[in-house]
């Protein structure tokens, strides 16, 4: 079990770095775009497109990161009225449902990625890049969420909030 926690921790670091890089590049592209537009009256549509793709990547990797930190949206009111044992069982059931939903989404998004590759779909702008590599972040993200939630549901991987590294912003 210690090995799974190490893998999960290592995967978390990769997720954090990927989010930071994608968000940083998207921010720089937007700043450059605004500066070029207002100072030189020149617009680079491809920068906008790349920025949008990077933000989509940030969102999907962020979903995986939020799930790993157990900071995803949840309603815990019911859990506060239940015993720890019953609340734990309810969390495992919720993780089981999340696992099933995540794998279903991984399947359908993978199907979309494969179809996009088969038809040779490209972006609509002048950039004209293949869309399927950009779309590939979706089934990968859903698969990782499915694996983690499945392991939590089976009590193979369970990281209580107190053991989790404090990363990102907290509200």
Residue 138 belongs to domain spanning: 2-160
pTM here is: 0.74
Q: Half-sphere exposure of residue 107, counting CA atoms within 13 Å on the CB side?
A: 6
CB atoms within 10 A of CB 8: 17
**What H or E segment, with its residue span, contains residue 152?**
helix 137-153
Residue 37 maps to a domain: yes
Please check the confidence at residue 166 and state whether its pLDDT lies above 80: no
Confidence tier at 158 by pLDDT (50, 70, 90): low
Hey, what are 125's tokens? 């702008």
Decide: 154 and 98 in contact? Cβ < 8 Å.
no
Residue 166 maps to a domain: no
Residue 169 maps to a domain: no
Hey, what are 88's tokens? 């734990």
Determine the Cα–Cα distance for residues 164 and 70; give it in Å rounded to an integer.
9
Residue closest to 157 by CA, chosen among 166, 165, 148: 148
Look at the chain and report how many structural domains it folds into.
1
Residue 165 maps to a domain: no
pLDDT, tens digit, 9 for 90 and up, residues 28-80: 998 988 888 888 887 777 788 888 889 999 999 988 888 888 776 666 666 67
Determine the Cα–Cα distance for residues 146 and 143; give it in Å rounded to an integer.
5
Q: What is the pLDDT of residue 168?
A: 44
Q: What is the pLDDT of residue 108?
A: 95
Please check the confidence at residue 170 and state whether its pLDDT lies above 70: no
Q: What is the pLDDT of residue 8?
A: 80
pLDDT, tens digit, 9 for 90 and up, residues 103-144: 999 999 999 999 999 998 888 777 778 888 888 999 999 999
Residue 171 maps to a domain: no
Residue 149 maps to a domain: yes
For residue 122, the cross-strand partners are: 130
Dihedral of CA atoms 86, 91, 93, 95 in degrees, nearest 10, equals -170
Residue 168 maps to a domain: no
Residue 19 maps to a domain: yes
Beta-carbon contacts of 93 under 8 Å, excluding residues fewer than 6 positions away, are: 153
């Amino acid at each position: 079990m210690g090995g799974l926690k190490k893998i999960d921790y290592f995967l978390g670091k990769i997720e954090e770095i990927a989010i930071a890089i994608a968000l940083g590049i998207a921010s720089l592209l937007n700043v450059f775009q605004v500066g070029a537009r207002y100072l030189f009256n020149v617009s680079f549509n491809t920068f906008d497109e790349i920025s949008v793709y990077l933000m989509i990547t940030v969102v999907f990797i962020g979903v995986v990161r939020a799930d790993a930190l157990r900071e995803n949206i949840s309603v815990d009111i019911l859990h506060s009225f239940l015993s720890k044992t019953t609340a734990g069982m309810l969390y495992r059931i919720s993780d089981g449902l999340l696992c099933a939903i995540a794998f279903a989404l991984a399947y359908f998004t993978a199907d979309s990625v494969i179809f996009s590759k088969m038809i040779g779909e490209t972006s609509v702008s002048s950039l004209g890049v293949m869309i399927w590599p950009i779309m590939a972040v979706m089934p990968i993200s859903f698969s990782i969420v499915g694996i983690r939630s499945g392991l939590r549901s089976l009590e193979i991987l369970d990281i209580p909030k107190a053991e989790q590294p404090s990363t990102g912003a907290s509200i």
